[in-house]
Amino acid sequence: MKCPYCESDNTSVVDSRSVSARVRRRRECEGCGHRFTTYEEAESLDIDVDKRDGSREPFRVSKVEDGVRRAVKDTAVDDDETVREVASVVKARVADRDVVSTDEIGEMVMEALKERDEVAYLRFASVYEKFDSAKGFVERAQDLE
Ligand SMILES: [Zn+2]
């Protein structure tokens, strides 16, 4: 963790507390003496994601957040709170898994969005499932009723 004032790597933690899934740390730079605050979050749980192309990558909450953020853009639920909420629903559901597929993650996001906003839900579903026919889209839309 570099000091934002002088970029020294020598900083020490003077206070640390958990704020939900994040840890807020008060640090002091040993180079220049300035104090600053960091919010640290475990970026990667120890979970693998099986992708559709057969490759595997570590699960990242930030990737889920990016997808949700795109889906909610300009809808009634276009705010950071919704993005964080949906991502944490997914995170909680995969937390005790070793491996999860992108399809499963997609379903979890869709379920969470469906309860919050229909436009965001349909937008996510259309990007996610790459509907190859109007029928698929209509079926999803009918699910809402
Ligand atoms: Zn410094």
pLDDT tens per residue, range 33-63: 999 998 877 655 788 999 989 999 989 889 9
The reply to whether 106 falls in a domain is yes
Q: In angstroms, what is the span from residue 92 Cα to ligand 1's centroid? A: 37
32 is in which domain, residue-wise?
11-41
pLDDT of residue 132: 56
24 shares a domain with 78: no
pLDDT at 111 over 60: yes
Average pLDDT over residues 108-132: 86
The reply to whether 110 falls in a domain is yes
Torsion of CA 111, 115, 117, 122, to 10 degrees: 30
Q: In angstroms, what is the span from residue 24 Cα to ligand 1's centroid? A: 19
Query: 69-94 pLDDT, tens per residue?
Result: 999 999 999 999 999 999 999 998 99
Total domain count, the chain: 2
The reply to whether 71 falls in a domain is yes
pLDDT at 109 over 70: yes
Q: In angstroms, what is the span from residue 87 Cα to ligand 1's centroid? A: 34
pLDDT of residue 28: 95
Environment class of 67 (CB within 10 Å of its CB; exposed 0-12, middle 13-18, buried 19+):
buried
56 shares a domain with 35: no
pLDDT at 136 over 70: no
51 shares a domain with 24: no
Q: Is this model's pTM higher than 0.75 or not?
A: no
48 shares a domain with 33: no
Q: In angstroms, what is the span from residue 14 Cα to ligand 1's centroid? A: 14
The reply to whether 102 falls in a domain is yes
Q: Place 126 in a pLDDT band, splitting at 50, 70 and 90.
A: confident
Spell out the SS3 assignment of 59-73: EEHHHHHHHHHHHHC
